[in-house]
Amino acid sequence: MTRRELILSSAALSAAAAAAQSNGSGKTVSIASGNGINATARAVEMMKAGADTLDAVIAGVNINEDDPDEHGVGLGGLPNEEGVVELDASVMHGPTRRCGAVASIQRIKNPSKVAKLVMQETDHVMMAGAGALKLAKAFGFAEDELLTEKSRLAWMVWKKSLRDASGHNNWTDGLDAPVKASAQLKKMFPDVDEKTLAWAWQMAVHPIAGTINCLGLNAKGEISGVTTTSGLAWKIAGRVGDSPIIGAGLYVDQEVGGAGSTGRGEENIRISGGHTIVENMRRGMSPTEACLDACKRVARNYDNDNTRLKAIGITFYALRKDGVYGSANLWKGGQFAVNDGKGPSRLENCAYLLG
Ligand code: ASP
């Protein structure tokens, strides 16, 4: 290439970049569920450095997936009722309008990366169980034991706290009353320290919902998203939630924006939350209004009966192509993570339907 050609081609590239820029808001933004402070920071840092929006959000949630102390996602996720960790994830790439998902995959700590593999390397959109694991291994993914000692303990406490109609449990040493006090637990787990035991009891009784949904928008207006989870703790083996369902746990439309959800997936699947929110935004609702509408649809499915809705925790997140974002929780009190490209990530309060 001559010097003149080089100057011309760089000029053409800058013109193309400027044209692309004019399609976007010039804002670099990432939002995520409340556990996404680090994920959004990493996603924005990578997008600013020129990374693809999907690579950026996946790298963001990999922080959560790799953390053994995060018990709703990846390594250390709480297992199914048989003590096996089964993970779900989905990805959607706005610019190419492609997507991929994995459901019930075992032994791979980064299901978000396997979801991208399904998108990129196969002619399919969704793979499950043993087939998804085979695909990941074919592409060099390493298998890991995802059940950590802490998660195993929480699972065991849960098993020992179950009772049949006569108050019996085969997993306890002849105790016939429901486990309540830590003294009883201490007898069952003499080698475990009080603090860990208290944590395990909390996990057994009120397992955390630790899914992460992360959406990313770059200055050119390109947008992508990812959702990854270990699903509901103590689920029946093979249960699949909303996280890997394109249109429920995640949806992105390059023309409009992206949306995702965390919480009780069964409710989200019933309303196709991700798709509903994006379509709401297409018709003119703000991201917050669009998320609140999804909450209303969940409530309507229970005839707005608050006594039944009390048992449901669910949150929606939305990021519009112009950088405006929002989130809504069914109940008051939730927070979500935001990085607007101007500094560190922060938590903002979710709007809510029921107080
Ligand atoms: N949405 C996830 C699922 O239903 C769980 C969660 O977010 O806590 O699998």
Q: What pLDDT, in 10s, does the model give residues 226-242?
A: 999 999 999 999 999 99
Q: Does 6 score more than 90 pLDDT?
A: no
What secondary structure letter does DSSP report for 246?
A: B
Distance 230 CA to ligand 1 centre (A): 8
Show the tokens assigned to 269: 């699947």
Q: Is the pLDDT of residue 301 over 80?
A: yes
What average pLDDT does range 11-17 have in this prediction?
49
Task: Give the integer Cα–Cα distance in Å for 53 and 40.
Answer: 12
64-73 as b/e: b if 16+ CB within 10 A = bbebeebbbb
The pLDDT-based confidence of 186 (bands split at 50, 70, 90) is confident
Tens of pLDDT along 333-348?
Answer: 999 999 999 999 999 9
pLDDT surpassing 50 at residue 21: no
pLDDT in tens, 160-181: 888 888 777 777 765 444 455 5
- Residues with Cβ within 6 A of ligand 1? 72, 209, 211, 229, 231-232, 241-243, 262-265
Centre a 10 Å sphere on the Cβ of residue 299 and count the other Cβ atoms it contains.
19
Mean pLDDT, residues 286-310:
97
Helix 287-300 vs helix 273-282: angle between axes, to the nearest 10 degrees?
130
DSSP-based three-state secondary structure for 268: helix
Average pLDDT of the chain, as a whole number: 91
Counting from 1 in the atom list of ligand 1, the atom nearest the Cα of 313 is 8
Q: Which two three-digit tokens encode residue 323?
A: 């950088």
- Residue 340 tokens read as 């607007």
Does the annotation count 211 as an active-site position?
Answer: yes
Exposure of 1 in the CB half-sphere (CA atoms within 13 A): 8
| The pLDDT value given to residue 20 | 45
> Given this model, what pLDDT does residue 293 score?
98
**Ranges assigned E (strand) in the chain:** 29-33, 87-93, 98-105, 126-128, 212-217, 223-229, 250-253, 257-263, 314-320, 325-331, 335-339, 346-349, 351-354
Report, as an integer, the average pLDDT of 95-120. Answer: 98
What are the helix and strand counts (H, E) for the chain? 12, 13
Tell me the whole-structure pTM to 2 decimals: 0.90
Catalytic residue among 40, 148, 172, 211: 211
CA 265–ligand 1 middle distance (angstroms): 5
Q: How does pLDDT run across 311-341, given as a tens digit for each residue?
A: 999 999 999 999 999 999 999 999 999 999 9
Which residue segments constitute the domains of the chain, with CATH numbers given? 25-146+208-354 (3.60.20.30), 149-205 (no CATH)
- Flag whether pLDDT at 19 surpasses 60: no
- As a whole-number percent, the residues of the chain with pLDDT over 90 amount to 78
Quote the pLDDT of residue 182: 66
User: Ligand 1 centre and the CA of 301: distance in Å?
Assistant: 18
